[in-house]
Structure 1
């Protein structure tokens, strides 16, 4: 067994040496569930997701935690084995994510094309943004390989690939001048709010998640994992910071309430209306960024790393999904379109929406349990007994 290594956690206190911070897995797993629910159009169950009650959504959670866990794992490798080995490991992971994205792309295209042709419904291709692929498959496939062409709901993994490719440089700077790295990331985000900088998309426009903007959440997560202990300790213990966070979350809820109840929009002062709109997701609007940070402050105060509930059987399914985030995200994209197809062609009743949402999450949990079981089997010593059926839900694994 490897020697225990203490590291700063989100709470600002040293992590228990032999334990993984299960909060990261829990909220990444919950984010995957919320993304799946949000990807099903006209799904009543999606009303439970955070996008309906504030400015940010599950994407911010996913990107921040990805930055934190990546820095925690690969930062240690960079310190122990040097930047060359760490860079090789990070770029191998980026290649794995790229291959997963392309595999999902092929399966997703086949699913949409087959269902659209079988049920003679061309709207599926339009809704999922694949008309260009059906008209020019050769050109579009090349653009997909270059990460320029992305169907609907497939924008997160290309963003993650780019962020991983830049991670070695970010880690190297973080370990030497952490505040310089964080401030530099914020400056880049500010520039994007003023200047139209983005990666080109095909056939037109830019990436839905602008990497030049969303990198700030990824770098912030990495900074928290590597160098944010003292600062976070002060911030998270401050009653004033907590009150400000709660007030901002309430403000966000009040504004989003007007989206669902238009009659309330008249109560928003005109100057405030002109100031906050449009709330840009592509460039990570400041309202979204602050909303996520407010939620993070409240969550960390309410759920410390020692919270016993983290080991509750009720939370194990979400934790397990968070520990296999790449596979479960890909599965969620496939399941979301399958649910959309069933609701469109067979029944859109509320009972069907609830059933498909629950079944989809259960499938995600079952697959993550199977993946965990396979890893346990592959890691056991010759002659060692196989794990019991429930062992796959028992603990965490490396990020």
Structure 2
């Protein structure tokens, strides 16, 4: 690792200064944040899920200090895709009193290379590295270090040149969100500019982001994780992964949605709960999955491999999913006045696609993340998530 500057005070990295993780796993070096608890992880051997739940989207260190220099030793595992362009999401964002003050990338670390065509995975190991922020004002301030949404991260040591104490409780409501890679952050500039992070800042709430790339699949263990996590507001964005994984047919989808919502309601019976259907994605609007990557000129794009005629046999498309989610939420809302529905095309629709097309035909770009966040904040925090006075 790099030679440190004069930051002699070491602070243990514990739950008291980590926000947005459901569990901290003790490792030989330090701690690894997880966004699903161990019991949930033990119920699924899928490598994709294991990778994305350990990528700490929305996870941040939060503390109060007068330090002018901060060093964080980490061992990151960066994910790259063979034959594809370098993607964003590997930076550490420093917020001071709620504003972005700096952005840095860790030295060292591991690199995991995934061949999307074959499923092969190669990992090149590297040393523990350091993220360093200097030149900060020598006055008490609230500091947050948001971890990169695309790197599994072991937190090894936190050093400062002034004492650290946990960030004070500001009395903010906790927003618990679950969704797909778009909620996870795909193609956003950094962890503080994913659409959930931007929306949380606009709504002045504390975010727990369970956006799991490729893994929003109505898994019962995910529903139980949502059920067991204290929250004041809950949203679930359902559909795109079920379609592009070609996971289930219409007969199974409806009961699975009911079961997912039933589980959440076991311990959140009156919490405002917002069900969001998929944003516009032309390749899957009327064409079932599975989805597959296509590589050309160092770029990756996705295409739908199903046949539109297969809808007659119960295969799912985004339009079918939206209709079913609207029907289910309307049915349930008759007995659940705190259940709400949002058509994802209100966040990103045809006009948006014409202006800000999906670069890989599946995920929005950084500008679209901002637009989705603005629209979600206006709808949710001006409506079903509005504070009760």
Pick 1 or 2: higher relative contact order, CA cutoff 8 A, min separation 6.
Answer: 1
More strand per residue: 1 or 2? Answer: 2
Larger radius of gyration: 1
Settle same-fold status: TM greater than 0.5: no
